[in-house]
Amino acid sequence: MQKLLIKGGKKLSGEVVISGSKNASLPIIISSLLFDDLVHFENVPKVRDIFTLINLIKVLGREVEFNEEKEILKISNKNKNKYFAPYSIMRTMRAGVLVLAPLLAKFGKARVSLPGGCSIGARPVNLHLEALKKLGAKINVKNGYIDAIAPKGLSGSNIKFPSISVGATESIIIAAVLAKGITKISNAAIEPEIIDLINFLNKCGADIEYNSQRKIIIKGVKFLYPVRYRIIPDRIEAATYAVAALITNGKLLIKKVNNEHLKNIFNVLKKIGANIKIFKDSFVIFRKRKLKPFKIITKPYPGFPTDMQAQFMALATQIKGSSVINEEIFENRFLHVSELMRMGADIKIKKQKAVINGIKNLNSAEVMATDLRASVSLVLAALSATGTTTINRIYHLDRGYSKLEKKLNLCGANIKRVND
Ligand code: EPZ
């Protein structure tokens, strides 16, 4: 296993280039299973989850070529289609459950391992399965596997999600594009990553409409023709580096972003005391004044993203006064708290609420990464701490951040990656 050694206390200054969105890439790449012809994606991030997905797509019979330097991914269909997604792959990447949708839509059958939970929660898939049944799938869950068939193919239906789910919304969009008839989704998730999936499929000939009232209408079509498609920038990566600038009292130019997708986060950062100058596809961020404590509640987009909760908690440890964070999306997404406390942070948890009393300086410590965003919150804390912090199990970090230490060291950080 590998770990990071981070010598803190340096003000970051320089430029960071943002990679493509992991959470847009995963559903869009999975939707390529709907196609017979070669599919070509650009701006695909070089992160662990993408390599895991490439393995899964190959196991399902496709040929995949990933030019990591150019970040171009090509998937071709050699007509050796398989319908079995094994636990060995699924247990490391939950988004794999999305393959159910294209396999049912295209071939009418699939045997997919239940993804299993992860550190931030049980992560059930009931919303995916109930909605797929409404499109005509017959689903049986036994021995850790989902056995699904659609003997008469999938047909459009009205689906009202009882709670908002990014993945379940993606499942139904992918399942419905080739279904007979019209599918109407209400209470859909409308994250930028979902809109990117819709834009890709529509460019390929799908007929999908959506609005800000969480309504999505999909009219089934007969064929899809793949087009060359560029994945949107990763808004969570961009926001993470914005917090890195503030927590080190530095100044960063963050490039290759979509500022529209960051508006909700910019509003919170400005209230805390950030100065943000927006340009066409970049922004500059630094402290305008002494940072002020804040209160955030994580919500589905366009609310405050749960994927930024841990990073803002690291920032709160450096802000004098009492900040409050309510995590309302996942039941167990405070695993970074105990590790931040090892660095001297003053945090109290009561159910889904964390109260953080900012202190002068965190001190270095040996800490452990537990999940993707918790890991990066420890990196942020270490950048501002005095001394050298060791972060163990950084494979969690590599799942979603491409070249993290390279990007930060180019801005003056002092981070070394070492083997255990
Ligand atoms: C996506 O996960 C993201 N992952 C997550 O990012 C993100 O935190 C999450 O959406 C919320 O924005 C990808 O896009 C690959 P959900 P997903 O279905 O789709 C419950 C990261 O750090 N639920 O919107 O799994 C669920 O347990 C990752 O990049 C059910 O109960 O999230 C959670 O409490 C972490 N039944 C809530 O809904 C279901 O069938 C929201 O989950 C599905 C979900």
Cα gap 54→325, rounded to integer Å: 36
What pLDDT is recorded for position 122? 82
In this structure, the strands spanning 39-42 and 62-67 are: unpaired
More confident residue, 80 or 328: 328
Q: What average pLDDT score do residues 276-291 get? A: 97
313 lines ligand 1 (CB under 6 A): no
Architecture category of domain 2-19+233-419 in CATH: Alpha-beta prism (3.65)
HSE-up (13 A, CA, CB side) for residue 396: 22
Cα gap 42→66, rounded to integer Å: 10
165 lines ligand 1 (CB under 6 A): yes
Measured over the CA atoms of residue 330, residue 332, residue 334 and residue 339, the dihedral's sign is: negative
Instruction: Tell the residue nearest (CA) to atom 5 of ligand 1.
Output: 307
Q: Residue 49 corresponds to which amino acid? A: D
Question: What percentage of residues in the chain have a pLDDT greater than 90?
Answer: 93
234 lines ligand 1 (CB under 6 A): no
What pLDDT is recorded for position 123? 86
Cα gap 27→326, rounded to integer Å: 28
What pLDDT is recorded for position 359? 76
- 411 is annotated as an active-site residue: no
Helix (H) or strand (E) holding 355: strand 353-358
Instruction: Tell the residue nearest (CA) to atom 27 of ligand 1.
Output: 123
pLDDT surpassing 80 at residue 356: yes
What pLDDT is recorded for position 372? 95
Helix (H, G, I), strand (E, B) or coil at 194: helix
Q: Which CATH number fits domain 22-230: 1.10.10.10, 3.40.1110.10, 3.40.50.300, 3.65.10.10?
A: 3.65.10.10
Domains 2-19+233-419 and 22-230 agree in fold: yes
Domain ranges in the chain? 2-19+233-419, 22-230
Residue 251's DSSP bridge partners are: 13, 286
Q: What average pLDDT score do residues 67-93 get? A: 92
pLDDT surpassing 90 at residue 104: yes
Cβ atoms of 319 and 289 within 8 Å: the answer is no
Q: What average pLDDT score do residues 12-37 get? A: 97
Taking only the tens place, the pLDDT of each residue in 37-79 is: 999 999 999 999 999 999 999 999 999 999 999 999 999 988 8
Mutate to test the pocket of ligand 1, among 329, 334, 371 (most ligand atoms within 8 A of CB): 329
Measured over the CA atoms of residue 374, residue 235, residue 301 and residue 219, the dihedral's sign is: negative
127 lines ligand 1 (CB under 6 A): yes
Give the confidence band of 117 by pLDDT, cuts at 50, 70, 90.
low
Taking only the tens place, the pLDDT of each residue in 128-165 is: 999 999 999 999 999 999 999 999 999 999 999 999 99
Task: Show the tokens assigned to 357.
Answer: 């009393």
Question: What percentage of residues in the chain have a pLDDT greater than 70?
Answer: 100
The Cα angle at residue 53 between residues 51 and 56, in degrees rounded to 5: 115
What pLDDT is recorded for position 344? 96
Instruction: Tell the residue nearest (CA) to atom 30 of ligand 1.
Output: 124
Nearest ligand 1 atom to alpha carbon 372: 22
- Spacing, Cα 411 to ligand 1 middle (Å): 32
- Spacing, Cα 155 to ligand 1 middle (Å): 26
- Spacing, Cα 150 to ligand 1 middle (Å): 25
Average pLDDT, the chain: 96
> What pTM does this model have?
0.98
* The 3-state secondary structure of 375-403, one letter per residue: HHHHHHHHHHCECEEEEECCHHHHCCCCC
- Spacing, Cα 167 to ligand 1 middle (Å): 6
Helix (H) or strand (E) holding 326: strand 321-326
Nearest ligand 1 atom to alpha carbon 306: 8
What pLDDT is recorded for position 175? 98
Q: What average pLDDT score do residues 172-185 get? A: 98
pLDDT surpassing 90 at residue 33: yes
